[in-house]
């Protein structure tokens, strides 16, 4: 996560055709698409979103009401709990008609119920990994496999990571099947973030191609 | 990055905004693009006015929520009101809400093309 700078709330602009800093989509925009970036806290999800987004990443919240079991660890016996979950997102206009939204989703176990509901219909996911805290990635990978959401794994190489594990070592440590693409990235760099997205969509394309030729 | 509290300590506000309703229109996806079909009219609730202003150009539900600093569910309720009166139209995503709907190769090729041209 990047540093949380707080901006003043956007007041209703006097000239609503040009709200401060807002960059509207083209009027032909008709198809919204979603890709989710998951990973543990501090792994660089927002940094990745920011590096490729055409807008400054925005933050929004959802209040989720859910049967209490398994949602949080308070052990509450109330029938329902309300949890507020924040997530960041960015945007890429692919062409006049198609716009891709990138969501940075919290990877912690207790947030996954939100993931299921909010992020249904995603093209696929990027699992962002910090090799110093690989434990954080296991749960995300497990849930993606469970939901059959296609994904790639991107290792965000931090400058102060002295171990420098090879991708082979990381694949083994994550018990990642051979068919799942695994790449290095620097989430701060636009071209690197772009490569991660291209790797994911190329992977999705290959999966769709195989499925179409099989049917 | 914009990070501001949405509902902290102010549940009354959300209750007022939605007139006490908590059930949202599920047809609005996070990336459904909303377009205003007319301008705001006199006497309209201020949140409805802001939505119509923001939606002079297509705007995703999630962007509306961020701009209005309201939770997604509340925005869905407000959009349901506007849809019912025909003041907005909604362009829903091609990929359905079910896991069964997979993107086809033609769509993915377009996405790849767009990404490579970034």
pLDDT digits (tens, 9 = 90+) for B43-68: 999 999 999 999 999 999 999 999 99
Sequence-distant (≥ 6) Cβ neighbours of residue A130 within 8 angstroms: A39, A40, A42, A43, A44, A136, A156, A158, A161
Question: What pTM, to 2 d.p., does this model score?
Answer: 0.84
Q: Which residue of A has its CA nearest to B6?
A: A61
Architecture of domain B11-116: Orthogonal Bundle (1.10)
CA distance linking residue A14 with residue A22, whole number of Å: 14
Token output for A164: 């420098």
CA distance B9 to chain A (A): 12
CA distance B91 to chain A (A): 6
Residues of chain A contacting residue B1, judged by C-beta atoms under 8 Å apart: 2, 4-5, 46, 50, 56-59, 88
Q: Give me the residue label for tokens 């990973």.
A: A39
> What rounded mean pLDDT belongs to chain A?
81
pLDDT digits (tens, 9 = 90+) for A180-214: 999 999 999 999 999 999 999 999 999 999 988 88
Q: Give mean pLDDT, residues B8-26.
A: 71
Judge: A57–B66 Cβ closer than 8 Å, yes or no.
Answer: no
Sequence-distant (≥ 6) Cβ neighbours of residue A42 within 8 angstroms: A1, A130
pLDDT digits (tens, 9 = 90+) for A105-127: 876 666 666 666 667 889 999 99
Counted residue by residue, chain A has a size of 215
Q: Which residue of A has its CA nearest to B32?
A: A32
Is there a contact between A207 and A150 (Cβ–Cβ < 8 Å)? yes
- Residue A146 above 50 pLDDT? yes
pLDDT digits (tens, 9 = 90+) for A51-61: 999 999 999 88
Q: Give mean pLDDT, residues A54-83.
A: 65
- Number of Cβ within 10 Å of residue A194's Cβ equals 17
Residue A155, H or E segment: strand A151-156
pLDDT digits (tens, 9 = 90+) for B69-112: 999 989 999 999 999 999 999 999 977 555 456 789 999 999 99
Q: Which residue of A has its CA nearest to B113?
A: A94
Residues of chain B contacting residue A202, judged by C-beta atoms under 8 Å apart: 112
List domains and CATH numbers for chain A.
Answer: 31-214 (3.40.50.300)
The three-class DSSP label of residue A169 is helix
Residues of chain B contacting residue A94, judged by C-beta atoms under 8 Å apart: 110-111, 113-115
Judge: A22–B67 Cβ closer than 8 Å, yes or no.
Answer: yes
Percent of chain A beyond pLDDT 70? 76
Percent of chain A beyond pLDDT 90? 48
| Chain centre to alpha carbon of residue A142 | 15
- Residue B33 bridge partners (DSSP): B60, B91
pLDDT on residue A66: 57
Judge: A92–B6 Cβ closer than 8 Å, yes or no.
Answer: no
The ipTM, to two decimals, is 0.86
């Amino acid at each position: 996560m990047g540093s949380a700078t707080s901006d003043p709330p956007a007041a209703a602009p006097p000239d609503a055709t040009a709200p401060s800093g807002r960059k509207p989509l083209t009027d032909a925009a008709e198809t919204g698409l979603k890709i989710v970036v998951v990973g543990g806290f501090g792994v660089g999800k927002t940094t990745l979103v920011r590096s490729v987004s055409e807008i400054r990443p925005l933050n929004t919240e959802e209040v989720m009401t859910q049967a209490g079991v398994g949602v949080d660890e308070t052990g509450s016996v109330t029938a329902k709990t309300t949890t507020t979950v924040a997530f960041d997102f960015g945007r890429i206009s692919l062409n006049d008609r198609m716009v891709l939204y990138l969501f940075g989703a919290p990877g912690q176990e207790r947030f996954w119920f939100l993931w299921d509901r909010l992020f249904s219909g995603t093209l696929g996911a990027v699992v962002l990994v910090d090799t110093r805290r690989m434990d954080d990635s296991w749960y995300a990978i497990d849930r993606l496999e469970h939901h059959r959401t296609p994904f790639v794994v991107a290792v965000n190489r931090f400058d102060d990571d002295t171990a420098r594990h090879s991708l082979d070592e990381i694949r083994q440590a994550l018990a990642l099947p051979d068919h799942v693409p695994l790449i290095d990235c620097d989430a701060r760099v636009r071209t690197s973030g772009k490569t991660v997205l291209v790797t994911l969509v190329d992977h999705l394309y290959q999966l769709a191609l195989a499925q179409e030729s099989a049917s | 990055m914009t990070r501001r509290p949405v509902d902290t300590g102010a549940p009354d506000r959300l209750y007022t905004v939605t007139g006490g309703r908590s059930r949202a229109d599920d047809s609005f996806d996070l990336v459904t693009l909303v377009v205003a079909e007319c301008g705001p009219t006199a006497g309209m609730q201020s949140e409805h006015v802001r939505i119509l202003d923001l939606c002079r150009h297509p705007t995703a539900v999630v962007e509306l929520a961020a701009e209005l600093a309201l939770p997604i569910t509340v925005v869905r309720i407000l959009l349901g009101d506007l849809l019912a009166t025909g003041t907005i139209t909604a362009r829903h995503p091609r990929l359905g809400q079910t896991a069964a709907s997979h993107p086809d190769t033609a769509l993915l090729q377009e996405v790849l093309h767009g990404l490579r041209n970034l």
